[in-house]
Amino acid sequence: MLSQTPRNVQRRAHRKAYPQLRAVEAAWRNNNRERHNATSQAWKKRNPLKVRATQRLLKFDITQVEWDAQFAAQNFACAICKREDPGGKKDWCTDHDHVTGHLRGILCWACNVGLERFNDRVPVFLSAIDYLRTTQR
C-alpha cells in the first residue's frame, strides 16, 4: 500500500496532468501489443536492478538510496540471522509491516519465509522459542 508521501502525490499529479498523452500512449500499446511486450521484456532483462528498484518504490515507497542506507545500517547482512548471503533463489527480501507498510529491515530468504509462516504473530514466535528451549538437549 502506498502512502500519501509527496513523491507519490507528485507521481499521481504528473499522470493526471497529461491525459491526452496517456491516451495516445495507451492506443499505441494496444495497437502494437507484441512489439511493446517484447521491448518491455528485453529492457527488464537488461536492467534487473532498475526493475527491482522500481518494484520497491511502488510496493514499499522506498527509493534505492533509502534501501541501500538501510542495508548498510545492517552491515550488509540479514537483520535477524546476520547472514551475508540472501540464500534461496531470490535476492534480499524487504521486510515491512503489513498493516502500516513501514519498512522493518532487509532479510535473507529463510528469515523472511519464517516470518511469513508465523504471520507476524509475536505470541506464536514466543511459543516457538519456548518450545525450542524446552526440547533442547
CATH 3.40.1800.10 in the chain is located at: 60-137
How many angstroms separate the CA atoms of 93 and 86, rounded?
Answer: 8
Question: Which grid coordinates are listed for 46?
Answer: 537488461
| Residue 67 and residue 106 in contact, taking contact as beta carbons nearer than 8 Å | yes
Please report the pLDDT score of residue 52 as a whole number: 87
Please report the pLDDT score of residue 85 as a whole number: 87
Can you spell out the DSSP letters for 56-71? HHHHH---HHHHHHHH
pTM of the full structure: 0.67
> Residue 61's CB: how many other CB atoms inside 10 A?
19
Asked whether the predicted pLDDT for residue 80 surpasses 80, the reply is yes
Residues 91-127: tens digit of each pLDDT: 899 998 888 878 899 999 999 888 888 888 889 989 9
Please report the pLDDT score of residue 69 as a whole number: 93
Question: Which grid coordinates are listed for 1?
Answer: 500500500
Greater model confidence, 118 or 88 = 118
Residues 15-50: tens digit of each pLDDT: 677 777 778 888 988 999 999 999 999 999 999 888
| Residue 105 and residue 79 in contact, taking contact as beta carbons nearer than 8 Å | yes
Please report the pLDDT score of residue 2 as a whole number: 44
Where are the extended beta strands (E) located within 7-130? Answer: 93-96, 103-107
Greater model confidence, 13 or 73 = 73
User: Hey, what CATH topology would domain 60-137 get?
Assistant: His-Me finger endonuclease fold (3.40.1800)
How many angstroms separate the CA atoms of 93 and 43, rounded?
Answer: 23
Please report the pLDDT score of residue 46 as a whole number: 94
Asked whether the predicted pLDDT for residue 9 surpasses 80, the reply is no
